[in-house]
Amino acid sequence: MRNLIIISYLVLLGLNAHGQIKIVDNFLQNSYLNRFPDDRNGASESLIHCRDGSQYIGSKVGMNGSNMLFRLNTTDTINVPVEFIKKYLGPDDIIIYNNGRYHLTSSWFLMLSNGYSFGWDFTGQVNALLGWRFNKQLAAGIGTGFESHEGEFGGIYLWDDFHTVYGYGRFYISERKKRIYLDSKLGYGIPVNDWGPDNHTGGALIQPGIGLIYPSRRGYRWFVALSNLFQYTSGSSREFDSFSNPIVTKYKIWYKQVIFTVGIEIH
């Protein structure tokens, strides 16, 4: 199971190396003139993605027929034909920076991550989450994953696995390019590999943490996080003494581990 965790981590690194994740946007299926709402604050910065790969940073002035009037941050005003526009992001949709990288603030996102513990006792996680960004500070979602614990916990050797389901919340405390956030998972671990005299139950999952997410010009963003994992379970473990007599130990335990996580948010 540890190999599964490591392989998934390498897959994430491979995605970063190739850097070619593309998000298909269906914006252009809508009406040309209605899909670009006017900015509520003309001084706020917006972003235009063009089909040829170029980008413009500035603010929308209005529409001139089938052209968008767009004031650049150099104070020049240009006409951009709407058929050349792949995506328009207004000031309510993004936090944009001078180099064209940005964070989305109002959209859905898919989050994939892999985390594991420090120290000899091993805990690993693979997670997938679907969420929504409500505004510049708040995001939430629901997720599922796989979690494995192996090592000496509470004086006995244990190997317990779980499928996890959980709710997720995030609060941003920074609007810098590398945004700092606080987050938490609250859910339940469903036992896996429950066999013979060695068995364990499901239990509550709590995982508060702090993270750092990086801006991007593309439809994905990388993040790293550090968290405290608390997973409850109870069960029994069988060992043998020097005369080959079975020794069954019952336990109730909170797995408590510091988890380092690397992940990607898509869209």
Percent of the chain, pLDDT > 70? 80
Whole-prediction pTM value? 0.75
Cα-flanking dihedrals φ and ψ of residue 229, to 5°?
A: -100, 130
Separation between Cα atoms, residue 128 and residue 113, nearest integer Å? 7
pLDDT digits (tens, 9 = 90+) for 96-115: 887 788 999 999 999 999 99
Separation between Cα atoms, residue 69 and residue 220, nearest integer Å? 28
pLDDT digits (tens, 9 = 90+) for 32-88: 334 444 332 333 689 988 998 888 899 889 988 899 999 998 889 999 999 999 989
Most confident of 4-13, 42-51, 179-188: 179-188
Separation between Cα atoms, residue 130 and residue 266, nearest integer Å? 10
Per-residue pLDDT band at 14 (split at 50, 70, 90): very low
pLDDT at position 36:
42
- Average pLDDT taken over every residue of the chain: 82
pLDDT at position 197:
57
pLDDT at position 121:
85
- Which has more confidence, 109 or 150? 109
pLDDT at position 239:
72
DSSP string, 68-97: EEEEETTS-EEEEEGGGEEEEE-TTTEEE-
Residue 151, classed as helix, strand or coil, is: strand
